[in-house]
Amino acid sequence: MFEIRIVQYFNRIGSRKFDDFLALINSIRFLAFFWFAIVIIAIVKHPEIINYFLAAVAIVAILHFGITEGIIKHLLLYFIPKRKRPYVAYPDLIKSIGKKFSDSSFPSSHMASTVAMLFVIVSFYPSLFFLSVTFVLIMAFSRLHSGMHYPSDILAGIVLGLLYGWIAMEILKSVS
């Protein structure tokens, strides 16, 4: 399978310090802190956008947790089997790095939430586009490297994140 060869390639790259850094990036606590810090910085630096910015963040969170986590990763599992993560499906080929997630690998929740939040941030702060793309690439690499996702999981997460961010901004445009 082509996807497993890609994961296997990325899984082999690294060193102990590199793995530790990427494990930090993959940490739910880190992401929660990261998003919280960005929201606080945006509010402090530009209090005039607080209502719209917080509304966009809330819409993205509702869409992500409702659709990705609620419907796709839990409700649909009553009808279709969950996709095993690469390190679970191919333990002889892929080692897990960092926290071992055990839910369905499809789609990547890390990618969906990251892309959605960065879509909102870039909508308010276009100058952060390249920094945001860099963070998305690091996150995508780290999810493959850690053995948690296949490339198609990553792409699905990116598409969902773009969709959630776009919907949030369209909702805000329609009410303003």
Sorting pLDDT into bands at 50, 70 and 90, what band is 42?
confident
Q: 151 preceded by cis ω (within 30°)?
A: no
Sorting pLDDT into bands at 50, 70 and 90, what band is 142?
very high
Q: Which domain holds residue 25?
A: 2-175
Asked if residue 176 has pLDDT above 80, the reply is: no
DSSP for 142-160 reads HHHHTTS--HHHHHHHHHH
The arithmetic mean of pLDDT across residues 81-100, rounded, is 92
The conformation of residue 78, written as its DSSP 8-state character, comes to G
Number of domains observed in the structure of the chain: 1
Asked if residue 164 has pLDDT above 80, the reply is: yes
Other CB atoms within 10 Å distance of the CB of residue 66: 12
Q: How far apart are CA 39 and CA 124, in angstroms?
A: 11
The reported pLDDT for the residue numbered 138 is: 94
Instruction: Annotate 88-117 with b (16+ C-beta within 10 A) or e (fewer).
Output: bbbeeebebbbeebeebbbbbbbbbbbbbb
The reported pLDDT for the residue numbered 92 is: 94
Q: How far apart are CA 159 and CA 149, in angstroms?
A: 15
Sorting pLDDT into bands at 50, 70 and 90, what band is 44?
confident
